[in-house]
Amino acid sequence: MPRSALFRVILACGLGALVTHSFGQEQIACFTPQSTVLFQGDSITDMNRGRSADPNHVLGHSYAFIIGAKAGSTYPERGVKFFNRGISGNKVSDLQIRWDSDTIAIHPDFLSILIGVNDLNGGVTADEFEAQYDHLLAETMAKLPAVHLVLCEPFGLPTGGFKANWASYKPELDRRREIVAKLAKKYSATFVAFQHVFDDACKRAPAETWIWDGVHPTFSGQQLLADEWVKTVNASLGDPLFSPSRNSAIDPQVNFERDSYDWLHRHADVLSEQAKANPDVVMIGDSITHFWGGSPSANHVNGPKSWKKTFIGVRVLNMGFGWDRTQNVLWRLNHGELMGLHPRSIVLNIGTNNLVGDDTARTNTPEETATGIEHIVKVLRTRCPDANIFVMAVFPRGFEKGNELDRRISALNRILLTKFKDPKNSVLDIGQELRQSDGSIAKEIMFDGTHPTDEGYSIWGSALVKAGAIPKAR
């Protein structure tokens, strides 16, 4: 079997962001390798979960346990981490109190929230519920801008103590369901509708089979929740690696390329280095940035002299990763890179690999790639509000001017120039400086038509200094 075909088989078994496997009547979600999935809510999610690291009880016995157990047993090699932080009796205001420690600090890639029945039963008005939930979600997206947000609607059935007053209770419950659907749309979240699932289930068996007290699902009801959650999330997120219907450039992904270095190991090196670096300048990008020089060190560098000359006396953190695309940068940022740093300048050079598809990611259009870069800049601006962000126009590729890839790069750069006009979010285009007078690229500037030589890096370094991206040495 050819390597590319073999890799596609492996990918179908677990390397996609969400691929499928048999899950009862539905499908099981297989999450991105090394991703973190967090379930938040009240007693419906809690379901007697343990409060320690005891693996027998850590997920309780709710839908979160069912989803985590099946996904974990089907794809154990993916190393996906599942957390349940539901707490019985919680309202939105209770989530807010513990949000930093129980959500933000976990840095989830997927965050699922099911909340609302205690707000209704506890006298919180619909308007108050909406305002508090809206505030919580705004804070979440500001701190975790790349998270996949899943909002689940509250639900109920006329059983137990709710049977007698169901006629007056249900309209208020429906109002909360509408609010959650509205917020899901506002924050581009996946919306999971549960009420219709229980309504349909009651056509097969009495309501008490599914929810015993009007609020809490039985074990059979929890299975319904898990099935619907998985079905909806699969349909919403699909497989962004290859689906033409989704912009893969904005879906955070681990880098699956087989390159000359260990991608996750370098990510760990960056986290370790940034804890002590206090950089003036942060360089973010792909192999063009990675193999220029600096720290964390690469296994080889192509521009050591120009790096030393450009950044003499300046503290610099190199967050370049070979073969990275925009989606890989978003994953890294969502997993701690740049957290707590206050650089004066951030230089972003990313996008060239988005325009080249292979076995690990499809080709993005210039428009998709520009949107991916825009998403990165939004994260950078949120995380480092005082930094000057320099978005590099993508460097030309290929020795001959006007090749197909070079034309796509030119189209991308034209879009970038329209998107970033703020002086603090500016585009720096050095394409002409890298070309010869006839528009071609000399091997003395880019030895393979893509990666600069030391001389090529000197051109980039000089442009950064001239643009004010390199602060004076302290």
Question: Which residues are known catalytic residues?
Answer: 287, 448, 451
Q: Angle formed by the axes of helices 219-237 and 63-74, to 10°?
A: 60
Which value, in Å, is the radius of gyration of the alpha carbons in the chain?
25
Would you report the helix, strand and coil content of the chain in percent, each value rounded to 5? 45, 10, 40
Nearest to 146 by CA among 374, 422, 358: 374
Angle subtended at Cα 259 by Cα 254 and Cα 263, rounded to the nearest 5 degrees = 40
In this structure, are residues 291 and 369 in contact, taking their beta carbons and an 8 Å threshold? no
Tokens 């999450």 correspond to 31
First-last CA distance in the chain? 57
Q: How far, CA to CA in Å, does 299 sit from each of 127, 293, 343?
A: 57, 10, 25
Angle subtended at Cα 394 by Cα 393 and Cα 398, rounded to the nearest 5 degrees = 140
Determine how β-strand 26-27 pairs with β-strand 22-23: antiparallel
Other beta carbons less than 10 A from residue 148's beta carbon: 25
Q: How far apart are CA 49 and CA 217, in angstroms?
A: 15
Q: How far apart are CA 435 and CA 412, in angstroms?
A: 18
